[in-house]
Amino acid sequence: MTYKLQPIYQPGGRSVVQSLRCVRCSKLTKSERLDPSCEGCGGAVLFSGQPASFPTRAELDGSPAGVWRYRAFLPPVSLGQVVSLGEGGTPLLRSQRLGKELGLRNLLIKDESRNPTGSFMDRGSTVLLSLAKGRGVRECDCVTTGNLGASLAAYCAKAGVRAVIKVPPNVDRGKLYQMLAYGAELDATPGRRDAGRHGEALSVSASNPFILEGEKTTGFELAQELGWKLPDVIVVPVGTGGHLTMIWRAIQELRAAGLAEGSCRLLGVRLGTPFIGRRGRGSGPGDGEGEPSPAELESEPLFGAEAASSVSESGGRTVEVSPREMIEATGLLARTEGIFAEPSGSSVVAAIERAIEEGFVGPTEMVVCVITGAGLKDTRSVTKLAREARKPEPAIPFGGAGPAMGRTKVELLRLLQDGPGYGYDLRAKLSADRVMSTASVYQHLTELEAAGMVRRRGTVTAKGRERVFYEITGRGTALLALAGRLEELAGRGANPPSRRRVRGAFR
């Protein structure tokens, strides 16, 4: 549907008709639609160009917190038409315990789970729905796997606009409940919606350039909260690539406006896909336990190329984290900082740990991690976390030869049989269902040391970080041999047990 042009000019802002650049073929398109796409190839488009004039620091500091504080950088909306639920203005929290655990002195958390519907998407929904309401849109149609649907449903409710949301059968339950509660009509029929049915509706997707403009405000806000300083590193989940691209854009606009200066590297976090193996093993009987939740599966990286060039322009890099690391990071973040994020959001914590280990982030650098969404939205991951938490570590009494030993300790000893190792390295080698932080691995090593099973071999300083190497002692080796014999007695195998079988035996 094409909307009648109603030019609303805003002092210093842009007019309604704006140039849009295709992310696929770079062609410039001029459009007054609220759902524009490339005239040439139909690809997703982003606004090009910058505001004619910029606000000052004093003006921005003097206006109330939230997305609309940055309206000079956003598509023009008259203030009377703003559809707002109080989005943005999320806290930038200084980490105490997590930073210590990761070895970072200056770690900050931008907690986007504090937005009205629990995700950064609300920053975009307020912009799009304000424009839509202003133009008399009656219905929004959307195909979504999650946060966008929940957010859009709430803002449609606020604006009095009908929301029809097409959801996949495996949508996260928390997000589904949100959409239902906000009164959206849900369509779960498989296949594509026929185009004619809702011809008058505004079709919304996560690639909508107005939504993306709103997402820029994460970047403005964190710089302002730091007193107009840029952090050394910003860690953001890549997802569709949109949010990361827009945060980078915000930084460029801040520089162009003279509001912030200096350099800032982006650390993009991608989700790995080892779920194929897990599904292959056929875990839970029909409870969907072995299936990836939509939040864990990345959506099509629509802005993959934009995100990649943003990361490289910033001198940053992209890190891939596994679903296991993500679940572990969710627990770590919740336990240490009291922030319960959805796994795709807490993936940033796992990425930081990797980046520190690989020397990309130094221990004194200022790091801001962007937590994109709240944990209760993704109930399947909550279940996984709960299972990990209540799984007791079975103790193996070694017939009076030593202290009762848990499976993790036995596994650590077996790893050290292959040669000396240090915490992060050992943690990475632990079997896939052992979920713990590097600090927990060091705790086990300290206890093994006290029991005389391992000893410190030495300390190596690599990339500014101290690594303590441990090696197995004679006592530790004897204990492992005993464990092997116990296993044979238990009838777990007449042959010397392979490592995989040993793991099975100690379950």
Identify which of residues 38 and 448 has a Cβ nearer to Zn ion in the complex.
38
Identify which of residues 17 and 25 has a Cβ nearer to Zn ion in the complex.
25
**Side chain identity, residue 410:** V
Stretch that binds Zn ion, among 31-39, 311-319, 471-479, 496-504 (CB under 5 A): 31-39
Cα–Cα dist 468/385, whole Å:
29
List the one residue from 16, 20, 34, 38 that touches Zn ion (CB under 5 A).
38
What's 341's DSSP letter? B
Per the CB < 8 A criterion, the answer to whether 140 and 187 are in contact is: no
Neighbours of 225 (CB within 10 A): 17
Pairing of strands 405-406, 317-321: unpaired
Identify which of residues 23 and 412 has a Cβ nearer to Zn ion in the complex.
23
Taking the alpha carbons at both ends of the chain, their separation in whole angstroms is: 60
Identify which of residues 40 and 183 has a Cβ nearer to Zn ion in the complex.
40
Least distance in angstroms from the C-beta of 302 to Zn ion: 13
Beta bridge partners of 465: 462
Identify which of residues 24 and 467 has a Cβ nearer to Zn ion in the complex.
24
- Give the contact letters, 43-82, x = binds to Zn ion (CB under 5 A), - = no: x---------------------------------------
380-410: burial string, b at 16+ Cβ within 10 Å, e else: bbbebbeebeeeeeeebebeeebbebbbbbb
| Measured torsion, CA atoms of residues 134, 166, 42, 298, in degrees rounded to the nearest 10 | 110
Least distance in angstroms from the C-beta of 245 to Zn ion: 16
Least distance in angstroms from the C-beta of 207 to Zn ion: 12
- The label of the residue with tokens 């982003």 reads 46
Identify which of residues 66 and 242 has a Cβ nearer to Zn ion in the complex.
242
Stretch that binds Zn ion, among 24-32, 46-54, 343-351, 412-420 (CB under 5 A): 24-32
Helices and strands of the chain, counted as H and E runs:
18, 17
40 near Zn ion, judged by CB under 5 A:
yes
36 near Zn ion, judged by CB under 5 A:
no
| Measured torsion, CA atoms of residues 429, 435, 441, 444, in degrees rounded to the nearest 10 | -120
Stretch that binds Zn ion, among 15-23, 91-99, 165-173, 321-329 (CB under 5 A): 15-23
Total residue length of the chain? 507
Which stretch of DSSP H or E encloses residue 374? none
41 near Zn ion, judged by CB under 5 A:
yes
Cα–Cα dist 103/97, whole Å:
10
Pairing of strands 265-271, 233-237: parallel
Identify which of residues 42 and 62 has a Cβ nearer to Zn ion in the complex.
42
**Side chain identity, residue 197:** R
Least distance in angstroms from the C-beta of 260 to Zn ion: 32
Least distance in angstroms from the C-beta of 39 to Zn ion: 8
Identify which of residues 27 and 335 has a Cβ nearer to Zn ion in the complex.
27
Identify which of residues 207 and 437 has a Cβ nearer to Zn ion in the complex.
207
Least distance in angstroms from the C-beta of 304 to Zn ion: 15
Cα–Cα dist 43/55, whole Å:
32
Least distance in angstroms from the C-beta of 42 to Zn ion: 7
Per the CB < 8 A criterion, the answer to whether 350 and 329 are in contact is: yes
Stretch that binds Zn ion, among 6-14, 17-25, 300-308, 440-448 (CB under 5 A): 17-25
24 near Zn ion, judged by CB under 5 A:
yes
**Side chain identity, residue 437:** S
Stretch that binds Zn ion, among 40-48, 104-112, 135-143, 318-326 (CB under 5 A): 40-48
DSSP string, 147-208: HHHHHHHHHHHHHT-EEEEE--TT--HHHHHHHHHTTPEEE--SSPPPTTTTTTSEEE-TT-
List the one residue from 25, 52, 386, 401 that touches Zn ion (CB under 5 A).
25
| Measured torsion, CA atoms of residues 140, 144, 148, 151, in degrees rounded to the nearest 10 | 60
Identify which of residues 29 and 144 has a Cβ nearer to Zn ion in the complex.
29
Count of residues touching Zn ion (by CB under 5 A): 8
Stretch that binds Zn ion, among 39-47, 120-128, 361-369, 435-443 (CB under 5 A): 39-47
Stretch that binds Zn ion, among 27-35, 137-145, 394-402, 462-470 (CB under 5 A): 27-35
Least distance in angstroms from the C-beta of 31 to Zn ion: 12
Tokens of 470: 């441990």
Least distance in angstroms from the C-beta of 25 to Zn ion: 3
Cα–Cα dist 144/98, whole Å:
33
Cα–Cα dist 480/436, whole Å:
22
Cα–Cα dist 54/67, whole Å:
16
Identify which of residues 41 and 450 has a Cβ nearer to Zn ion in the complex.
41
Identify which of residues 256 and 305 has a Cβ nearer to Zn ion in the complex.
305
Stretch that binds Zn ion, among 14-22, 165-173, 198-206, 457-465 (CB under 5 A): 14-22
Least distance in angstroms from the C-beta of 43 to Zn ion: 4
22 near Zn ion, judged by CB under 5 A:
yes
Cα–Cα dist 142/165, whole Å:
5
Beta bridge partners of 16: none
Least distance in angstroms from the C-beta of 240 to Zn ion: 17
Stretch that binds Zn ion, among 16-24, 202-210, 227-235, 483-491 (CB under 5 A): 16-24
| Residue ranges in contact with Zn ion by CB under 5 A | 22, 24-25, 27, 38, 40-41, 43
